[in-house]
């Protein structure tokens, strides 16, 4: 079987094209089916199309399969009409044509085929193959939902929840999510869990929320696995169980869920409920960092800098601190500023150190205040100022940075009374900007 044919059949199976229970006309011999097909029997034409698609009792022939399928659709077979919609929607051995796909879905939907109704609603909702029409999409989702189509029930709930094509109604949304959830739709189960968790359309109930997150999680829903892990980690709707939380984080992380990768990394890094494992933590932080998670980038940089779970590598630490810092992580901004000051992983550059340390300080990172004092006191290539250094060390001490006390005492002996007065005035201004917003301490 060629790769193209394999992919063709795989998509047909995925969208429900193949594998339907046989009807009486599909159980007939190929000879009998041909006779009936020649007389215009749509059921026989449809059955023959399946045989030629699958190579069931005949040599596989996609061309013949398409001819019989088109004939059946033209003769009013709703199943064939829906299948043609699928084929033209995905461009399976034909030129992709969304307008043609939509036209076939209409014909099938009007005969009550719930899968066609669902597909047509989705196209109307997005404006594919024709004009966007949210009201019509809502109506077709409604028909398919009432026929028991769980995907339609899920999407109908979403339209009620967002007020698309219908007045917003969170209770109706909840009811349709519940209907689809009871039938096992994992996306609906996840949405239902969120409604219980957030108290939307129903009273807040963390026990029920966790129940439905777990049902969806058991079906491999990554977001549900992550949310269930968070609830178990925090003891919401159940007793706190860090070991079980880690297992669910790992399932979601293995599917590429970036928040789960970061959370699992933190558990392994700190040894919360499970044995501390730096190499495993490093692995998951790296996965999340590569997806752009700023907090994972910061901790990955830290592990490179201190050689935790990997070989010490100041250049890698510098690169990851930089990526995280540019995304606004205050701890990474401090780390980057400190590396510039120390010349670790890059050449020493106190001008850049001051820039990043100030960004960190403005976001409330306290250790940066001490390093800003060091830059003002003995920096290279920047204007030095004992008065400014005193002010930085003063606010660092206020923020409980122990190292600042020694520097303050030394400057008190060095500064003249006039300089000390100016230093205190500067410290008061720094207090207003770098202490008060983050501690509420008016001094």
- Return per-residue pLDDT of the chain as tens, 443 residues: 454 554 555 455 544 554 444 454 556 889 999 999 999 999 999 999 999 999 999 999 999 999 999 999 999 999 999 999 999 999 998 999 999 999 999 999 999 999 999 999 999 999 999 999 999 999 999 999 999 999 999 999 999 999 999 999 999 999 999 999 999 999 999 999 999 999 999 999 999 999 999 999 999 999 999 999 999 999 999 999 999 999 999 999 999 999 999 999 999 999 988 999 999 999 999 999 999 999 999 999 999 999 999 999 999 999 999 999 999 999 999 999 999 999 999 999 999 999 999 999 999 999 999 999 999 999 999 999 999 999 999 999 999 999 999 999 999 999 999 999 999 999 999 999 999 999 876 55
pLDDT tens-digit series, residues 173-189 = 999 999 999 999 999 99
Q: Alpha-carbon distance 33 to 57, whole Å?
A: 12
Q: Alpha-carbon distance 299 to 225, whole Å?
A: 23
Contacts of 357 (CB under 8 A, 6+ apart): 333, 334, 337, 338, 341, 368, 371, 372, 375
Whether 370 contacts 393, CB under 8 Å: yes
The two tokens of residue 391 are 């002010």
Q: What does the pLDDT read at residue 61?
A: 94
Q: What does the pLDDT read at residue 22?
A: 44
Q: Alpha-carbon distance 71 to 97, whole Å?
A: 19
Whether 315 contacts 334, CB under 8 Å: no
> Degrees (nearest 5) of the Cα angle 29, 34, 37?
125
Extents of the domains making up the chain:
1-111, 366-443
The two tokens of residue 393 are 């060390």
Whether 260 contacts 293, CB under 8 Å: no
Q: Which pTM was predicted?
A: 0.87
Q: Alpha-carbon distance 249 to 262, whole Å?
A: 9
Q: Alpha-carbon distance 290 to 175, whole Å?
A: 39
- DSSP H/E element including 208: helix 206-218
Q: What does the pLDDT read at residue 325?
A: 98
Residue from 293, 213, 217, 297 nearest 259 by CA: 293
pLDDT tens-digit series, residues 202-254 = 999 999 999 999 999 999 999 999 999 999 999 999 999 999 999 999 999 99
Q: What does the pLDDT read at residue 28?
A: 82
Q: Alpha-carbon distance 25 to 244, whole Å?
A: 52
The string over 420-440, giving b where at least 16 C-beta atoms fall within 10 Å of a residue's C-beta and e elsewhere, is bebbeebbeebbeebbeeeee
Longest dimension (CA), the chain: 112
CA-based radius of gyration for the chain: 32
pLDDT tens-digit series, residues 378-426 = 999 999 999 999 999 999 999 999 999 999 999 999 999 999 999 999 9
Contacts of 297 (CB under 8 A, 6+ apart): 289, 320, 321, 323, 324, 327, 329, 332
Q: What does the pLDDT read at residue 97?
A: 98
Q: What does the pLDDT read at residue 93?
A: 87
For CA atoms 420, 422, 427, 432, give the dihedral sign.
positive
To the nearest 10 degrees (0 to 180), the angle between helices 294-306 and 258-270 is 40
For CA atoms 421, 425, 431, 433, give the dihedral sign.
negative
The two tokens of residue 233 are 């980690």
**Distances in whole angstroms, Cα of residue 306 to Cα of each of 299, 310, 313, 317:** 11, 9, 8, 9
Q: Provide the 10 A C-beta neighbour count for residue 250.
A: 20
The two tokens of residue 170 are 């969170």
Q: Alpha-carbon distance 107 to 273, whole Å?
A: 58
Pick the CATH number of 1-111 from 3.40.50.2300, 1.25.40.10, 1.20.1440.60, 1.10.1330.10: 1.25.40.10
Q: Alpha-carbon distance 421 to 387, whole Å?
A: 9
Token look-up 């400014």 returns 388
User: CA dihedral defined by 118, 121, 126, 132, rounded to 10 degrees?
Assistant: 170
């Amino acid at each position: 079987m060629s790769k193209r044919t394999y992919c063709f059949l795989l998509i047909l199976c995925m969208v429900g094209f193949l594998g339907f229970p046989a009807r009486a006309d599909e159980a007939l011999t190929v000879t009998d089916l041909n006779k009936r097909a020649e007389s215009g029997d749509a059921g026989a034409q449809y059955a023959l199309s399946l045989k030629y698609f699958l190579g069931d009792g005949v040599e596989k022939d996609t061309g013949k399969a398409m001819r019989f399928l088109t004939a059946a659709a033209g003769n009013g077979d709703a199943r064939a009409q829906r299948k043609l919609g699928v084929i033209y929607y995905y461009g399976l051995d034909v030129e992709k044509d969304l307008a043609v796909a939509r036209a076939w879905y209409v014909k099938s939907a009007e005969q009550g085929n719930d899968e066609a109704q669902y597909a047509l609603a989705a196209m109307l909702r997005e404006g594919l193959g024709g004009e966007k029409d949210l009201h019509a999409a809502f109506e077709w989702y409604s028909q398919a939902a009432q026929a028991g189509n769980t995907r339609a029930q899920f999407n109908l709930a979403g339209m009620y929840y967002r007020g698309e094509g219908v007045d917003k109604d969170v209770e109706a949304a909840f009811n349709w999510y519940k209907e689809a959830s009871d039938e096992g739709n994992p996306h609906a189960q996840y949405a239902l869990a969120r409604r219980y968790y957030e108290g939307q359309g129903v009273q807040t109930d963390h026990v029920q929320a966790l129940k439905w997150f777990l049902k969806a999680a058991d079906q491999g829903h990554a977001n549900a696995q992550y949310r269930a892990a968070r609830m178990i980690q925090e003891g919401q709707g159940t007793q706190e169980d860090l070991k079980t939380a880690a297992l669910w984080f790992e399932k979601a992380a293995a599917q590429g869920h970036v928040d789960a990768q970061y959370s699992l990394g933190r558990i392994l890094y700190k040894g919360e409920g499970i044995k501390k494992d730096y190499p495993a933590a490093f692995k998951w932080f790296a996965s999340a960092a590569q997806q752009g998670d700023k907090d994972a980038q910061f901790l990955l940089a830290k592990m490179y800098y201190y050689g935790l779970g990997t070989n010490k590598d100041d250049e890698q630490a510098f690169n990851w601190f930089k990526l995280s810092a540019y995304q606004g992580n205050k701890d990474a901004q401090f780390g980057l500023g400190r590396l510039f000051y120390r010349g670790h992983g890059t050449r020493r550059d106190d001008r850049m150190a001051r820039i990043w340390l100030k960004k960190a300080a403005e976001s409330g990172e306290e250790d940066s205040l001490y390093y800003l004092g060091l830059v003002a006191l003995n920096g290279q290539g920047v204007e030095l100022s004992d008065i400014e250094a005193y002010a930085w060390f003063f606010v660092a001490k206020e923020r409980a940075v122990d190292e600042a006390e020694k520097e303050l005492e030394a400057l008190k002996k060095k500064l003249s009374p006039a300089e000390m007065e100016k230093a205190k005035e500067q410290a008061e201004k720094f207090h207003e900007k770098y202490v008060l917003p983050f501690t509420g301490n008016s001094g």
